[in-house]
Structure 1
Amino acid sequence: MNMSTFNNNDINIFDLSDELLLYIFNKLHTIELLYSLVNVNQRFDRLVFDSFYTHHLDLTVRPLCYYTSPVNTQIFDQIRTQVLPRIHQKLNKITVDPLSMECILGTIYYSELNSLSLVNFQSETLLQHLTGDTILIRLLTGQITHLVIDINDEICLH
């Protein structure tokens, strides 16, 4: 691009090269990237669904871990219904919190999933997921080879 192109008011994101777009995409969190750019056009889908972005999905980021507002619910629902069905076979690692675990892990089979991170779990909640015939037990016994658990029990001093 020459300097006269930069002064042109008609430039938009669709005019950028793939390399420049990928550079910009790398500055965004994967959830933001997937939520904002999926289904914009075929080119963006091709770029954002690259395995570089879709091998690990962290569903504990700010926009999702507090999905009680209508906007956050919309983000979570779009990721769950429009993104996960398109990337489930590419995911190697998923990071979930107690609120999203059943909804995310219990609805889709992730054939390449081998790493699971459980974040902000209380020990009692985790114990419930580790007893009986639960999705977590099925994943741990048949698929997961790497597990990270973040226990967040509050200690109250009286």
Structure 2
Amino acid sequence: MSYPDVVTNVQYDLPVINIVFANTEYGYIKNKYEDTNKHLFGTDFIDVDYAKIGEAQGAVGYTVRRIEEMDEVMRKAVEDNKNGKTVVIDAKITKERPIPVEAMKLDPALASEEEIAAFKERYEAEELVPFRIFLEEEGLESHTVKK
């Protein structure tokens, strides 16, 4: 999402739900700087109220600060969406460093049982399943590249 997208959505009555995952930093860049012992510059920001920015552009705005709030906000956003409204959800997320994508060994088509077990133990991820499973449950085709 970019600001002009929201204005365009509102102007042309396009019912779009935009979710901004905001953690007040360029985390990916910050992590790369930290990994290479480089001086941090321009990676931390003030907390911006993206819901208010959306409202200023004519969209409906919501802010989520706790995961428990997400279901209710999504219900409201879907209802607004059905009524032809553009929605901006400002989802405040943690600054905690995420699991590195290259370490996500969950799919038996891509990793051994041992690698999957080690990943789940290391990242306390016993409940995680391959993204491919979600796609297939929704009737979408998955293009898994086998190793």
TM > 0.5 between the two?
no
TM-score, structure 1 as length reference: 0.24
Q: Of Structure 1 and Structure 2, which has the larger fraction of its residues in helix?
A: 1
TM-score, structure 2 as length reference: 0.25
